[in-house]
Amino acid sequence: MMSERNPLGTFLRDRRTRLDPATFGLSGRRRTPGLRREEVAQRANISPTWYTWLEQGRGGAPSADVLNRIANGLMLTEPEREHLFMLGLGRPPEVRYRSAEGISPRLQRLIDTLDASPALVRTAAWDIVAWNKAATVVMTDYDKLAPGDRNILRLLFCSPNIRSVQHDWEAMARFVVGSFRADAARAGATSEIAELVEDLSRASPEFAALWQENEIVSHGEGTKRLTHPILGDIELEYSGFAVDGRPDLNLVVYNPVDPVVIERIRALVAKSDRVGDR
């Protein structure tokens, strides 16, 4: 009955009893597993009485700041933190941007299975942090770029080679800038992209002009056309997917429309593998 009347308290109690006191340098004989209420309160820098009331379903709704402190004190994962907010306030927490240095091996293995569909994983700042071999032969060889140069906007506005293969570069550039602005705001990365925006504005008057227009567009799905040096004119349908638990990451998969292009991309990937094995 307690879980029905006070789901927040039940969740807090459950996560509290899962913690190992030894992890925090706490010792001594304990009658129950996990941390004591006052120990969680101390770690969260809140009143022990207030924390006890939360577990007991008393005292009203906690603030977002209190929930964040408790989440840190209980060492909650990001999904657990979101669940805590849903129970305590009836809404998810505000997005907190964190930069990505890479992706999980599982996600890399997933995109590697797409042998004819270029796939990229990008951050909210549109830094490319992962790609598959199809993306290397169709888009560009990201391995040959410095990590700081693996940014879609830097490539689009500052690389003549990337610009030259785009069909209707002006329309593409306008769309990318609007999508970039929306993604950064959605991930809470507005301040984190400030330096990138300043750099691009100095390097490209075209970017500066588009940025000042304040357009916002969605980048969910669409069509991309390229003039590839080997494949010629190709058309790719793309779809964007959120990475679970990482609001700052987005997976974009490009599927060739023409079956003949699919086989030719596979052939290019196979050829690049043979060269790499030498």
> What HEC string does the chain produce?
CHHHHCHHHHHHHHHHHHCCHHHHCCCCCCCCCCCCHHHHHHHHCCCHHHHHHHHHCCCCCCCHHHHHHHHHHCCCCHHHHHHHHHHHHCCCCCCCCCCCCCCCHHHHHHHHCCCCCCEEEEECCCEEEEECHHHHHHCCCHHHCCHHHCEHHHHHHHCHHHHHCECCHHHHHHHHHHHHHHHHHHCCCCCCCHHHHHHHHHHCHHHHHHHHCCCCCCCCEEEEEEEECCCEEEEEEEEEEEECCEEEEEEEEEEECCHHHHHHHHHHHHHHHHHHHC
Domains and CATH numbers, the chain: 2-89 (1.10.260.40), 105-277 (3.30.450.180)
23-29 contacts at long range (C-beta below 8 A, 24 or more positions apart): none
- Residue 214 to residue 184: CA distance in whole angstroms: 13
CA atoms within 13 Å, Cβ hemisphere of 201: 12
Are 85 and 64 contacting, i.e. CB atoms less than 8 angstroms apart?
yes
| pLDDT one digit per residue (tens) for the chain, 278 residues | 334 578 899 999 999 999 988 888 887 778 888 999 999 999 999 999 999 999 998 878 899 999 999 999 999 987 788 899 999 998 888 766 655 567 888 899 999 999 999 999 999 899 999 999 999 999 999 999 998 899 999 999 999 999 999 989 999 999 999 999 988 887 777 778 899 999 999 999 999 999 999 888 877 789 999 999 999 999 999 999 988 767 678 999 999 999 999 999 999 999 988 776 55
